[in-house]
Structure 1
Amino acid sequence: MDSTTAFRHLHFVFIPLMAPGHLLPMVDMAKLFARRKVRASIVTTPLNSIQFQDSIEREIQSGSPIQILHVQFPCAEAGLPEGCESLDTLPSMDLQTNFNIAMNLLQQPLQDLLEKLRPFPSCIIADKHFLCVADVADKLNVPRIIFDGTNCFFLLCNHNLDKYKVHEAVSGEEKFLVPGMPHRIELCRSQLPGIFNPGTKLKLQAYREKVREVSKRAYGIVVNSFEELEVEYVKEYQRVTGHKVWCVGPVSLSNKDDMDKALRSKRNSSDEVEYLMKWLDSWPPRSVIYVCLGSLNRATPEQLIELGLGLEATKRPFIWVLRGAYGREEMEKWLLEEGFEERVKERGVVMNGWVPQVLILSHGAIGAFLTHCGWNSTLEGICGGVPLVTFPLFAEQFYNEKVVAQVVEIGVSVGAESVVHLGEEYNSRVQVTRENFKDSIEKVMGEGREKEEIRERARKYGNMAKKAIEQCGSSYLNMSKLIHDIVRVKGLDQS
C-alpha cells in the first residue's frame, strides 16, 4: 500500500479543551491534517462548534475529509449554569473546578462516540487538560498524542525546574537562573506558572499535578511552534526527556485568505469586520498599535486604565480590544464617565468582545502588538511580522516573554513582575504605569537603528513562520513524520 492510500485509511480525532485559546489552534491543526488527505474529526459541544462551523464547511466544500462531532456538555450535573460550555463563559473563575468535573463526566459519552466511528480512530490528539481522554484512549487501544498549547521553551523550562527545583530556594521577587537552558534565562518565583507558583488558592494544584502525570503517559506531544523559532529548545527537550515531539505550527497560518481569517471564529458581524478593515486601510503602513490581552484577561480595571492612558499618551493610532473577564463593569463605567473614547476617537478604536485577530495582525497598517503573551497571540504576532510589546499576566506567559524579548529579540517588555493568579485578581496591584506602556511602545515604533533592527528581525521571523508550513517546510515535514509514524504503529505500511 503506498503512502497516499495509507493516509486515506487514517482517522485522526481531535479533542480540544473548551476555551478559545485551546479550541481554535486545534481546529486549525485538524484542517491542516485533513488537507493532507487524513480523515479528521473534531469533537466538541454544539455551542462551541458554532464559532468555527462556517470555517469547517468551507473546508468540506474544498474537498477536505473533515467533520465536526458533538457531545453534550453536562452543565447541570457539574453544577454549572446552562450554556457555560467554555472557560471564557464562566461567570466566575471559582467555577473552574466545576468545569473540570464536567469534562471528566464526558468520559463515557466520548468513549461511546469513538467506539462507533468508522473508520475507527487511528490516533487521538487531545488537549493535555482533557484528562479523561487518557482513559478513553487506553480502553480503545488508540495512540494518544497530547496538544500542549505552548512551546518547547516552556516544556524544557518546566522539566528543568521540576528536576532541579532551584526556584524553591529563593523568595518570591528574587531572580534565579534556570538550569539547562540554551540561553541564560533568569526568572522570579513570582513569574512562574501555577504548578510552581500556586498562589493562596490551592484547589487547582491537584488537578495540575494530574495533568502533568497523565501527559507523561502520552505517545507523544504535538506543538504549535516551528523549529526555526526555537530549534535549540526542541532538540534539548527531546534529548533530556526522550519524548516524541512534533512541531507543526504556526497552525493559524492554515487560514490563508481574508475569508479564512474572518471565519476562523464567528463571533463578529460582517459589518464589524468590514468597519475594522476600512479603519485600518485609512492609516499608513506599520503605524497602528494593536492591543489585546486575550480571552481570559485578568488585568484589574486599575491596571487597564493605566494601559489606556499610556496608549493615549503615545498619540499614535490604536485598536484596543477589551474582552471583559475581570472587572468588566468597572471598565465600562470608567470609559463612559471619563470620556476616554471621545478623547481618542480621531485615532483610537476600543472594541468590546471578540475580534478577528489573525486578520487584523496580517494588515499592513499594524506596527506593533501589545500582548499578554499567550502562546497563540505570540505566534500570531510573529506570523504578522510585527514587533511585540509584552505584558504577561499568568500561566506560561512570562516564559513566552523570554522567547520574544531574549531568545529571538523581536519585542520588548513593559516590566510586569508577577503573575496575576486566577481568582485572586483583587490581590494584584498596578505593576505597569502609563509611562511604562508609552516608553515600551516607542522602543519598537520610534526612530533609530535599534528599533529598526527589532522590526527587521520581526519581519524575518514572520517569513520563516510562513515557510515552515509550506510544502517541504519544517512543520510540513514534521506533520508528514507524525502521519507516517501512526501509519507504522497501525500497521498500514504492511498491508
Structure 2
Amino acid sequence: MKAESNNLHILFFPHLAHGHTIPALDMVKLFAFRGLKTTIITTPVNASYISKTIQRTKSFGLEIDVRTIRFPAVEVGLPEGYEHAEFVRNDVEMLNKFLQGLALLQEPIEKILQELRPDCLVSDITYPWTTDAAAKFGIPSLIFHGSSFFTSCTGACIRQYLSGGHSFSSEPEHFVLPNLPGNIQFSSKNLSSPSDIETLITRLIKQSIQAQGESFGMIFNSFYELEREYVDYYRKTLGHRAWSIGPVSLCNKDMEDKAGRGKDASMDEHLCLRWLSSRKPNSVIYVSFGSVANFADSQIQEIAKGLDHSGQEFIWVVNNCGGSQKDGKDWLPEGFEERIEGRGLVIRGWAPQLLILEHAAIGGFVTHCGWNSTLEGITAGVPMVTWPLELDQFYNEKLVTQVLKIGVTIGETKHGAHIESEALEKAVSRIMEGEEAEEMRKKAKALGEMARKAVEEGGSSYSDLSSLIQELKLLRQGST
C-alpha cells in the first residue's frame, strides 16, 4: 500500500476479546500503512496477545504504539487478571461483572485522551461511552462495528418491527422481516436469545445505538461489492455515516503475519500446511466454531460422528468447546482418531485459520457464522456450512445462504440447539459434492476476487479509507 505523508494521530481502543482485537489490530495496520501515527489502548493481559504482531510491524517501519491501562477486575468482583472476555464468556454473573469493569475504564481513557490529544478515537461498538469521553476534549470519535452491514440493517428493522407493537411469538415460525431489503426469511425462534443474556446485550445495544448517532461515524470490516444493497440501506435509508474498509485481514501478506493473528497456534503451521498440500484441490472440509463456542460433550460426539460418516477429508479445530474435558480425548467416540488417521486432522486449541482457509485443498468451511470467520471464508473463496450459535451469527447465516447463496445451513437452529450427526453429514456432503456445491464454489471464488480488488489501490475499500482520512484531515484543519 502507498503511504501518505501526514501526521494524523489515531487512537484505537478495541474490545478485550480475540474476535474484536484481531480485526482491530488489522485495521490499525491499515491506517499505519497510510502513514498515520497510531496508538492502541489495551490492558496488560491483552497486550501480551498482540505484542508479537506489534514487534513485527516495526520491521515495516510502521509507527504503532501501545498504551496499557489497568482493568479493575478486583473492584467489580473478578479475580485479578480476568481482563479478557474468554475468561468470563460462559458465566452470566461474571460476564456482567466484566461489563461493569469495562465501564470503569472511562476515567483512564479520558486521561489518555487529555494527554495525547489524538485527531480521532476509534473505539469498539461495545464502548458506547467513548463517544462522550472524546467529545469532552473536542476529539471526533469513530465506532468500529465488528459485524456486517446486513446485521446492522437487520437489527434496525427488528427494532422498528418491535416498536410497532409486534412480537415474534405472534408470527408464524417462518416469516419475512418487514422493511429489510431482499425479502429475507427468518425463523421466529432464532430472533431471540436467553433472557439473562438478552438483558445484558439489549442494554449495551441501546447505549451503542445512541452513541452511533452522536459519533463522527462507523467503520465496518466489509466491502461494498459484498453487500451493496445493505450498505446503501444503512447509509441512505437509516441515515448513518459509515466507511467500509475491509476485508482488513488482507493487510497480512506473508505466512508469519497470517499465522500470528491471535494466540499462538496449537499446531505448527508448517505441519498443518504440509498435510493440506498432500490433498487434492477442494477436497478438505475445514470445521471451526471460533474462540468462544462451548459445546456439551454429547454435541462434540455428534460432530465427530458426522465427520466420520461423511467420508470427507477434514480439519477440525476444537477450541474451548469440549465441555469439561480439557485434553480433548474423553469426549471423542471410541476409536475415532484411529478411524480418521490419514483422512482427518484434529487441532486442539488455536489454529492458523487464514493459512488454512486460503489453501487450495480446502473445499468447504463449517462455521458458527461469527463475522470474522464468515468474512475470512468469503475472502478465501470457500463455500460454507452455516451453524450459528448466538446473537448476530443467525443474521450472518442469512447473508451467506439467502443473499450471497454460497452456503447451506446445518438445519433449523436456535440458541443452544443440539444438532444430530446426520444433519452435519448431510450438510457437508452438499457443500463438497455435486453440481450445487460446484455452483456455490464458483460464486464464493468470485466474491473472493472482489474482496482482494476492494482493498487494492482504486478499490472500494481502499477509496473509502482514503475518503475517511481526508475528512479527518479537513476536520483537523478546521479546528486549528
Aligned to 1:462: 448
Of 306, 311, 317, the residue aligned with 2:302 is: 306
Scaled by the length of structure 1, what TM-score is found?
Answer: 0.91
Distance 1:401 1:59, change over 3 A: same
Once the two structures are superposed, residues 101-153 of structure 1 have per-residue CA deviations (whole angstroms, 9 ceiling, x without a partner) of 11111111111122222xx3111111010233223212222111111111111
Aligned to 2:178: 179
- Asked whether the 8 Å contact 1:171–1:189 carries over to 2, the reply is no
In structure 1, C-alpha distance between the alignment counterparts of 2:366 and 2:183, rounded to whole Å: 25
Aligned to 2:140: 143
Residue 484 (str. 1) matches residue 470 (str. 2) = yes
In structure 2, C-alpha distance between the alignment counterparts of 1:374 and 1:361, rounded to whole Å: 15
Gaps of 5+ in 2: none
- Asked whether the 8 Å contact 1:370–1:389 carries over to 2, the reply is yes
Once the two structures are superposed, residues 183-218 of structure 1 have per-residue CA deviations (whole angstroms, 9 ceiling, x without a partner) of 111112321255xx7468635543333233333322
Moved more, 48-57 or 468-477: 48-57
Moved more, 458-467 or 295-304: 295-304
Aligned to 1:475: 461
In structure 1, C-alpha distance between the alignment counterparts of 2:322 and 2:74, rounded to whole Å: 24
SS at structure 2 position matched to 1:485? helix
Q: Within 5 Å, which residues of 2 pair with 1:26-425?
A: 26-90=24-88, 92-94=90-92, 95-117=94-116, 120-165=117-162, 168-171=167-170, 174-192=173-191, 194=193, 198=195, 202-268=199-265, 272-325=268-321, 327-329=323-325, 332=328, 334-335=330-331, 338-420=334-416
Distance 1:481 1:255, change over 3 A: same
Scaled by the length of structure 2, what TM-score is found?
Answer: 0.93
Aligned to 1:426: none
The amino acid of 1:129's aligned partner reads: T
In structure 1, C-alpha distance between the alignment counterparts of 2:169 and 2:218, rounded to whole Å: 31
Once the two structures are superposed, residues 161-197 of structure 1 have per-residue CA deviations (whole angstroms, 9 ceiling, x without a partner) of 1113276153587222112222111112321255xx7
Once the two structures are superposed, residues 351-400 of structure 1 have per-residue CA deviations (whole angstroms, 9 ceiling, x without a partner) of 22111111111111111110000000000001111111100110101111
Gaps of 5+ in 1: 421-428
In structure 2, C-alpha distance between the alignment counterparts of 1:137 and 1:83, rounded to whole Å: 27
In structure 2, C-alpha distance between the alignment counterparts of 1:126 and 1:193, rounded to whole Å: 27
Moved more, 124-133 or 242-251: 124-133
Of 15, 18, 31, the residue aligned with 1:17 is: 15
Quote how far apart the aligned CAs of 1:347 are: 1.4
In structure 2, C-alpha distance between the alignment counterparts of 1:227 and 1:328, rounded to whole Å: 42
Quote how far apart the aligned CAs of 1:274 are: 2.2
Distance 1:173 1:370, change over 3 A: farther
Quote how far apart the aligned CAs of 1:409 are: 0.9
Quote how far apart the aligned CAs of 1:245 are: 0.8
The amino acid of 1:76's aligned partner reads: V
Aligned to 1:424: none
- Asked whether the 8 Å contact 2:296–2:321 carries over to 1, the reply is no
Quote how far apart the aligned CAs of 1:160 are: 1.4
Distance 1:337 1:170, change over 3 A: closer
The Cα RMSD (Å) is 2.2
Deviating above 3 A after TM superposition, structure 1's stretches of 4 or more consecutive aligned residues are 169-173, 197-205, 330-337
Aligned to 1:423: none
Distance 1:293 1:342, change over 3 A: same
The amino acid of 1:153's aligned partner reads: F
SS at structure 1 position matched to 2:354? helix
The amino acid of 2:468's aligned partner reads: L
Of 439, 445, 454, the residue aligned with 2:432 is: 445
- Asked whether the 8 Å contact 1:104–1:131 carries over to 2, the reply is no
Quote how far apart the aligned CAs of 1:261 are: 0.2
Distance 1:171 1:292, change over 3 A: farther
Distance 1:272 1:171, change over 3 A: farther
In structure 1, C-alpha distance between the alignment counterparts of 2:41 and 2:206, rounded to whole Å: 25
In structure 2, C-alpha distance between the alignment counterparts of 1:29 and 1:250, rounded to whole Å: 9
Q: How many residues align?
A: 475
Quote how far apart the aligned CAs of 1:330 are: 8.4
Distance 1:331 1:14, change over 3 A: same
